[in-house]
Amino acid sequence: MKSFPRAALLGVLALGLLTGFASPRARAQTMPGHTTNATTHFYLRDGDRVVFYGDSITDQRLYTTYIESYCVSRFPKKHFTFTHSGWGGDRVTGGGGGPVDLRLDRDLFAYHPTVVTICLGMNDGSYRAFDQNIFNTYIQGYRHILDRIIKEIPGVRITLVTASAYDDVTRAPGFTGGYNATLTAYGEAIKSLGREYGLTVADTNAPLVAMLARAEVADPTLAPLIIKDRVHPGSGGHVVMAAAVLKAWNAPDTVADIEIDGSNNTVTRSLGSRVAMRGSTNGSISFTHTDSALPWPLDRDAGNNKDTLLVLGTTDIEQTLNRYQLKITNLPAANYALSVDGANMGTVSRDALQQGVDLATMPALAPNKQANSLLGMVRHHNDLHFQRWRVLQVPNSSGGKQITPDIQTKMADVDRQEMQTLASITASAQPAPHRVELTPMP
């Protein structure tokens, strides 16, 4: 197995190798349901190196980017590295990137992962009604992938991701039963393999289907655009996929939850944040908070990502993975002017504050701006990896070719840029203190 320079460089960021663990086939990895219990640990560990392996849906670098951005924003003191190894058209036997064993050697083992996610199946069913022979090939090929990974990387933790949904919801199926019925059968087989091998399983198909049904009721014009070609989700659909994986990983639901009693300016609840009340005059509320994490950055641009807003409005993702709440009770005035770090955030009503304001939905808020900047850096890091891997490495090493010194120099330069970007991501993920002032409106 050949190890490429980038893998060695990324290894510097990792804090340790996993050794001495039992084979994944012999130990239960399946995680319990999503919970807010603080004693339930998040799946990823400090120093983990994650490889996302799959087909074109992984190659879109959307659900994987959202998972990565969640992890670096929610755990700013920990160090994870992520590598995206999706290839359009892939099946369990391989595809445009070569046969599966070449793909595994070059695009997975070379990065020495401690965690691997596998998302294959969309192409494997051949876009037709369930066929037993095609299915047998899928299961045989999937077993081959699992057995090779387990053999080559003892102690690796594997998450099986079911194929995402083929949209037979917002448009009529092309044949009786529809192609998603085939994918559902494949997904059940993945769950069985997960139980057999003792692996974590994330079902992305069922939550996508359920979301499409709700979205079609809410906005029948926009809903079909969530998966425009019925195969490849847009940003909103990928948020659902990312959420399914994160929930399977026991991702914590809360960024911060702050509650203040406005009658006496005391903090009655502070989860995930350090809050210091400041002096108040004329009925104002003033405090400084330093959160332990940033909100999960998502593509909320109403102009470019209407599908994401529709998805967030028809799922519980905000409540189960991105709770960022400010609640102030016992306020005398009906409305308050809100400012954060001296910037005017508009007017908020007493009733809204009494119920609790969702800070994650306020794009102009400083923590959200910081998180969105972080999302851009994560995307840049993934674009650099794609440049290094698919533009430089693969075309210039396929067919037995030797990578020339010129290409090696270019690859090393991209490696350097990526390392710099990863360092910037770590630095930019650190939360800053923010001063909040609420002034009663006349």
Q: Summarize pLDDT for 240-269 with one digit per residue, the tens.
A: 999 999 999 999 999 999 999 999 999 999
* Mean of per-residue pLDDT scores for the chain: 91
- Element holding 114 (H helix, E strand): none
Q: Could you give the percent of the chain with pLDDT greater than 70?
A: 91
DSSP string, 185-251: HHHHHHHHHHHHHT-EEE--HHHHHHHHHHHHHH-TTTGGGTTTTSSS--HHHHHHHHHHHHHHTT-
Amino acid at 435: R
Distance, in Å, from the CA atom of 437 to the CA atom of 432, rounded to the nearest integer, reads: 16
Q: Which amino acid, 316? A: D
- For the chain, the domains span 5-253, 256-366+430-440
pLDDT value for 14: 33
Nearest to 259 by CA among 293, 287, 284, 296: 287
pLDDT at residue 279 in the model? 78
CB atoms within 10 A of CB 243: 29
Average pLDDT over residues 172-196: 97
Q: Give bridge partners of residue 256 from the DSSP assignment.
A: 324
- Tokens encoding 43: 């799946």
pLDDT score, position 18 = 29
Paired tokens of 338? 């809100």
Write out the two tokens for 95: 């595809």
- The rounded distance, in Å, linking the Cα atoms of 104 and 122 is 19
Greatest Cα-to-Cα distance within the chain, rounded to the nearest angstrom: 77
Contact 167, 224 (CB under 8 A): yes
Burial class from Cβ neighbours inside 10 Å (0-12, 13-18, 19+) for residue 292 reads middle
Which class is 5-253 in CATH?
alpha beta
Give the mean model confidence (pLDDT) for residues 139-151.
98
Tokens of 240: 């659902």
Residue 418 Cα distances to 22, 223, 303, 370, 399, angstroms: 33, 36, 30, 20, 27
